[in-house]
Amino acid sequence: MATKHTVSTHPAEARMLLDDLTRRLEAEADTATRGRPALGPYVTISRLSGSGGSSIARALAKEMGWEVLDRELVEGLARELELDPRRLELMDETRTNWLRDTIFNLLDSRLVLQDSYVTLLGRVMALAAHKGRVIFVGRAGNLVLPRDDGLRVRIVAPRPWRVRHTADREGLGEAAASERVASLDAARADFVRRHFRVDADDPSAFDLVLDAAALGSEGVVTLIKTAMEIKGLIGSGEAGIDTGN
């Protein structure tokens, strides 16, 4: 049975997780690995506002026993990294290491604006992906990380459904919920466009695009697990899907 992991956005939790990721990087540097070990497995979840992407990520993590790194925790980790130059020096010292030569350079090549903070976000994701068994929510994880080692998912739903879902979840009136949905969608699309010069809705940037309104949260989770199995990220027993055979 998989161990259940929960992650809070408390600064102490971010520091502990970053300590663990740094230890892994130090071990990797010490071994001077020349090849490229398997990364992940991981899932990146991009979502339209109000589509339930965050709750779907948590439901998937609960079933799989994986960790969730949402926007707040990724940004918290980046802040911790920014405040500790020793960790950044460790990354810079691993230039011959596969982690530096593949993922960090991939991030640098895809970033249009060489924003130091966004680069920190990407490096945190890379370190967490190296650990594996993690679900990233937002922050353009599908563009930052290599496509072959994870599953890139986009959660969508019709706008009226997303407005109702937001209103119910946050206790807002329809007008306020509509405004919130529009504002968050615009901010997320702008983040991707400014830093990567791509359309956040481009389906070619994902392995799987799922309509939460049509499929329901349970259906979306089931299809994600099936896709993970098809892609070889998990074994058939890990998915826990009853095929009826």
Identify the weakest region by mean pLDDT among 75-89, 115-129, 223-237.
75-89
Tens of pLDDT, residues 7-34: 344 566 666 666 676 666 556 555 444 4
- Assess whether the previous peptide bond of 158 is cis (omega < 30° from 0): no
Task: Write down the pLDDT at residue 123.
Answer: 73
- Overall pTM surpassing 0.85 (yes/no): no
Task: Write down the pLDDT at residue 62.
Answer: 95
Tens of pLDDT, residues 187-203: 999 988 888 888 999 99
Task: Write down the pLDDT at residue 76.
Answer: 67
Task: Write down the pLDDT at residue 126.
Answer: 78
SS3 assignment, position 68: strand
Regarding predicted confidence, which is higher, 68 or 104? 68
State percent of the chain over pLDDT 90.
Answer: 44
Dist. CA 59–CA 135, nearest whole Å: 11
pLDDT at 171 over 70: yes
Dist. CA 119–CA 136, nearest whole Å: 16
pLDDT at 66 over 60: yes
pLDDT at 5 over 50: no
Q: Hey, which residues does 150 pair with through a beta bridge? A: 42
Task: Write down the pLDDT at residue 121.
Answer: 73
Q: How far is CA 42 from CA 133, 220, 224, in A?
A: 5, 17, 12
State percent of the chain over pLDDT 70.
Answer: 62
Dist. CA 87–CA 15, nearest whole Å: 12
Dist. CA 197–CA 218, nearest whole Å: 33
Task: Write down the pLDDT at residue 229.
Answer: 95
Reported as a pLDDT band with limits 50, 70 and 90, residue 38 is low
- Domains of the chain with bracketed CATH: 11-29+39-229 (3.40.50.300)
Task: Write down the pLDDT at residue 129.
Answer: 84
Task: Write down the pLDDT at residue 8.
Answer: 40
